[in-house]
Amino acid sequence: MQLSHWIDGKAYQNSQTIEDVNPANGQVIATVPVADQAMVEQAVAAAKVAQKQWAKQAVHKRAQVMFNLRNLIVEHFDEIVGIISLDNGKTIADAKGELQRGLEVVEYACGAPELLKGEHSRLVGSDIDSWSEFHSLGVVLGITPFNFPAMVPLWMIPMALICGNAFILKPSEKVPMAANKLAQLLQAAGLPDGLFSVVHGGRETAEMLIDHQDIKAVSFVGSTPAAKAIYQRASAAGKRVQALGGAKNHALLMPDADIENAADTLIGAAFGGTGQRCMAISVAVCVGDDTADKLIASIVPKMDKLLVAEGNQADADMGPLIDGIALDRVGNIISEATAQGATVVKDGRQIQANNSGYFCGPTLIDHVKADMSCYQTEIFGPVLAVVRVADLEQAIELTNQHQYGNGTCIFTQNGAAAHKFANEIEVGMVGINVPLPVPMAFHSFGGWKQSLFGDLHAYGPDSVRFYTRRKTITQRWLKQAAGQGTAFGQL
């Protein structure tokens, strides 16, 4: 398959290309063009022209495009799921979950007339009214990761467009196929040409886009080093930036927790998506040795039942890692854990010999300490580390000292413990007996500390603020006697 850039409603190629590989078998599934400076200039120029008219479009007409897009995604749901599974390697069930969460943001964007109606205050002074309006920014950029080829772009695209902007998407070069499908659906939904572009490439392409003087805002999801670098580069140029980075999400298990239920939910939270999620639970913090022993006794048999296979296999529970680099990184971290004194209870590397792709099975490591690499590092693989602590206070302190603060959760039947945890934990998204506290589309998604660079979170109410600039107008008209004329004629 030969992919193309999508600019001004048309497909474009250029001479430099890279290969898109199926992580389940290492085979090339597509050839992808790499944009040069001329292609970037063409995309931005088309976006600038289209955006000027789009910003003047009635809000309810912008919303109608989102209604149409929503219906088209539903109509093509299984096709998009198949693209995600092929390109990323994730299971069909994971791909369906991803697309459903992206679809929810499209549905939220359909409420544009309500989201963008502004605020009004009557009589802020003598005969003075004041109101605020949301105005578009212009051309905005989204740079998205490999682990959610459809969901993360759909966090950005609908909200940016309904706010009156043009949007350029630079998807991960590792999973480029879903972006092109979204471009086709947006065109079919009635979005005017030029308002949505897909520009393929790697880091150099991203930097050309970030540096372009007509790009007004940058949204990014990826690793913390990349998020930090993009934030610094773009904000230094005066651009608005939201850059979501990495995570090391802790699940705290209290002695009174329903261990069987916790183990069931941790199976999905730790190993779903092969652990390649910024909201994956990668650390189980157990209060007391008895709690840790019970968790391990419960979760290992469940891990043994997980089928690791190609994502499009109907009964697969886990697919492959994205590439050989990821596979080597996960394997090295497991080896380091052993060398540093941890206990590898279940080693997922043992399945590698049975597969031609980049597979690693679910892995459980016990007796992990805070100074070990498997604790400090965002592994981004199917590895769950068990840390044993004495009490709730120590668990909170441990979590708060970590550089990341994306998501966390607590399993307990004690309301006071849950209340203390929720209040004192320094993490952006918190679950109570909920292992993956990903907010719904009408809230906003984002972490604290090294998990987020920028002031506003993704999608939800924060996205309206991010993709608009506020204008406040204060107005006063001098009183006229009833029926008295003015310089402009009769009232």
Q: Classify residue 401 as left (phi > 0), alpha (psi -120 to 50) or beta.
A: alpha
- To the nearest 10 degrees (0 to 180), the angle between helices 203-211 and 37-54 is 50
Contacts of 288 (CB under 8 A, 6+ apart): 255, 388, 390
At which residue do the structure tokens 């206990």 appear?
343
- Reduced to 3 states (helix: H, G, I; strand: E, B; else coil), residue 170 is strand
CA 209 to chain CA centroid, Å, is 20
Nearest by Cα to 109 from 463, 470, 455: 463
Residue 18, H or E segment:
strand 17-21
* Cα three-residue angle 37-41-46, rounded to 5 degrees: 155
Buried b (16+ CB within 10 A) or exposed e, 36-48: eeebbebbbebbe
For residue 191, the tally of other CB atoms under 10 A from its CB is 24
- The encoded tokens of residue 475 equal 């107005």
Helices and strands in the chain, H and E counts: 16, 24
- To the nearest 10 degrees (0 to 180), the angle between helices 177-188 and 151-162 is 30
Strands 139-143 and 215-221, by their bridges, are: parallel
Task: Phi first, then psi: give them for residue 272, nearest 5 degrees.
Answer: -60, 145
End-to-end CA distance of the chain: 68
Q: Is 278 a catalytic residue?
A: yes
Q: Classify residue 137 as left (phi > 0), alpha (psi -120 to 50) or beta.
A: alpha
Q: How far is residue 321's CA from residue 206's CA, in Å, rounded to a whole number? A: 24
Q: How far is residue 46's CA from residue 339's CA, in Å, rounded to a whole number? A: 55
Q: Annotated catalytic residue: which of 278, 286, 360, 409?
A: 278
Looking at 14-143, list the stretches that DSSP marks H as alpha helix, in order from N- to C-terminal side: 37-54, 59-75, 77-88, 92-109, 112-115
Q: How far is residue 270's CA from residue 281's CA, in Å, rounded to a whole number? A: 5
Strands 452-453 and 468-476, by their bridges, are: unpaired
Counted residue by residue, the chain has a size of: 491
Nearest by Cα to 268 from 384, 413, 354: 384
Residues marked active site are found at 278
